[in-house]
Amino acid sequence: MDCFEEDLVSALREVVHSSNWQCVGATCDFKSQCTKLYSEDGEHIVLVHAESDRYWAMDSSCPHEGGPLDLGDIEDLGDGRLALICPWHHFDFSVDTGESSTGLQNQVYEVRVVQGNVYVNTQNALSLSPVTETNTASFGRSAPDDATSAPSEDTLCFWATRVLLTPDPGRSTRGGQYEHVHCSAATVALTQEVMRRWNSGKMADVGGAAPPAQPSRKAGLTVLEPGKIKRGKGGTLASRIALLHSLANIEQWAIDLSWDIIARFSSVTLASGDSLPRQFFSDFVKVAGDEAKHYDLLEKRIVELGSCFGALPVHNGLWQSATDTAHDLLARLAIVHMVHEARGLDVHPQTVSRFRAQGDEESVRVLEVIYADEITHVAAGLKWFTFICAAEGRDCLSTFHELVKQHFKGYLKPPFNTEGRKTAGMTREWYEPLVKPSS
């Protein structure tokens, strides 16, 4: 017994004297399977507790699309091996190694229990409560009142706000001409018609408008918190429908993000006093048109597989990035188009392989069309980010790294689709410095 106590004291002394060990609380504080621990660097951690009073820790953000692992379930993989399952798309992560059967890798942390207290080995301070954030000024910030509240009709920004106020994403069944299209028309049809008139020159002015705080959505959708939506792995028909439905929901938000950047930042001026070039708006009209095409392809495929959009729950979590960067154009470009859209390139190979493994080549064709377009969307974000930085006399790379650290929660996580990112112009020096350093 004396020997045991002596070993315990030695272990405790090792913990106390090591600066990387953080005491996160007593074991009685962690009765739940998963507890979120908030980190000062934004890379929050989930503490996993098994019935046998064993503990593990890993990053709480899923490396796939940022799903909240702290809201996930624990599954037994056999032979006592446990995995934490992401609630968004059902990706599994070994609690011991952070490895996933999908090929992804999550960061894990060593955990020790000493005299009834739980310690996690990490350089950053951890807390059971969110860390208070400090707001910082950045380029393109403006109050919502800066936008014109009563714009003239038939300008690009006027119709951008009309799209954002259109609740139904699907194609309109009413037909008719553009001048008869109002808020009841479908987002896809309205987007394509506005794009046609803008590209043809029939609509000449950018104009100005105050976009809504959040786009309208079709009545009858079941909207859940992001962490409460579970997705399968694509191994069954129902699972493939669920994955396509999730992608369609993403594309619906992507349409809105494209129109929002047009309307919200139409009045931004550069240090020279010049307004944003017309080509900026043309590029994001194209992005909006592509996203509308993507939603249309996915919706049709879901119907072909025997379901429809809205048959499954959706979430509004993807709009959070728009809210967080609502008054900062450089941050919007960095987070939405150079982080989130680039992450879409990263997960494409694994997503395609799931459908191909089930012989679903028609869905693969749709995903390949989307992938080719998304490369150009990352390129558009990079193009205008570097253009504005040059106009403002800023260093592009350091500005990007700073904005991502301010507005993106946590670190960027491999694996990266280096070829796809390179095709978009995003070479390694853009994103590798934002990966969490190995401890």
One DSSP character per residue, 240-298 reads HHHHHHHHHHHHHHHHHHHHHHHHHTTT-B-TTSPBPPHHHHHHHHHHHHHHHHHHHHH
Three-state DSSP class for 320? Answer: helix
In a domain, 439, yes or no: no
Whether 366 and 258 share a structural domain: yes
Contact status, residue 391 vs residue 413, Cβ threshold 8 Å = no
Q: Which pLDDT value is given to residue 20? A: 74
Per-residue pLDDT band at 11 (split at 50, 70, 90): low
**Whole-structure pTM over 0.95, yes or no?**
no
Tell me which of 22-31, 122-131, 265-274 is least confident.
122-131
Measured CA to CA in angstroms, residue 373 lies from 88, 223, 294, 369 at distances of: 24, 28, 9, 7
Q: pLDDT per residue over 391-403, tens digit each? A: 999 999 999 999 9
Q: Which pLDDT value is given to residue 405? A: 95
Nearest to 409 by CA among 22, 23, 38: 38
Q: Which pLDDT value is given to residue 137? A: 39
With a pLDDT cut of 70, the percent of the chain lying above it is 84
Whether 28 and 80 share a structural domain: yes
Range of the domain at 269: 144-434
In a domain, 138, yes or no: no
Give the H or E element holding residue 7: helix 2-17
Q: If you ran DSSP here, which 8-state letter would residue 349 be given?
A: H
Whether 242 and 288 share a structural domain: yes
**Cα 67 off chain centre by:** 9
For residues 287-308, average pLDDT: 96
Beta bridge partners of 182: none
Whether 234 and 282 share a structural domain: yes
Q: pLDDT per residue over 312-329, tens digit each? A: 988 777 788 889 999 899
Whether 84 and 202 share a structural domain: no
Q: Is 22 left (phi over 0), alpha (psi -120 to 50) or beta?
A: beta
End-to-end CA distance of the chain: 35
Q: Which pLDDT value is given to residue 50? A: 86
Whether 313 and 211 share a structural domain: yes
Number of domains forming the structure of the chain: 2
**Sheet containing strand 55-59, strands side by side:** 108-109, 55-59, 45-49, 34-39, 126-127
Q: Which pLDDT value is given to residue 152? A: 56
In a domain, 73, yes or no: yes
Residue 304 pLDDT > 90:
yes
For residues 66-71, average pLDDT: 81
Tokens of 401: 């790294």
Tell me which of 48-52, 196-200, 227-231, 299-303 is least confident.
227-231
Tokens of 315: 């979430």
Please count the other Cβ atoms lying within 10 Å of the Cβ belonging to residue 298. Answer: 24
Q: Which pLDDT value is given to residue 185? A: 45
In a domain, 139, yes or no: no
Residue with tokens 């799931």: 354
Say which residue, 192 or 103, is predicted with more confidence: 192
Whether 14 and 102 share a structural domain: yes
For residues 249-258, average pLDDT: 94
Per-residue pLDDT band at 140 (split at 50, 70, 90): low
In a domain, 136, yes or no: no
* CATH number for position 22: 2.102.10.10
Whether 234 and 369 share a structural domain: yes
- What's the CA gap between 217 and 170, in Å, rounded? 11
Computed over every residue of the chain, the mean pLDDT equals 84
Specify burial of residue 66 (Cβ count, 10 A radius: 0-12, 13-18, 19+). buried
Per-residue pLDDT band at 14 (split at 50, 70, 90): low
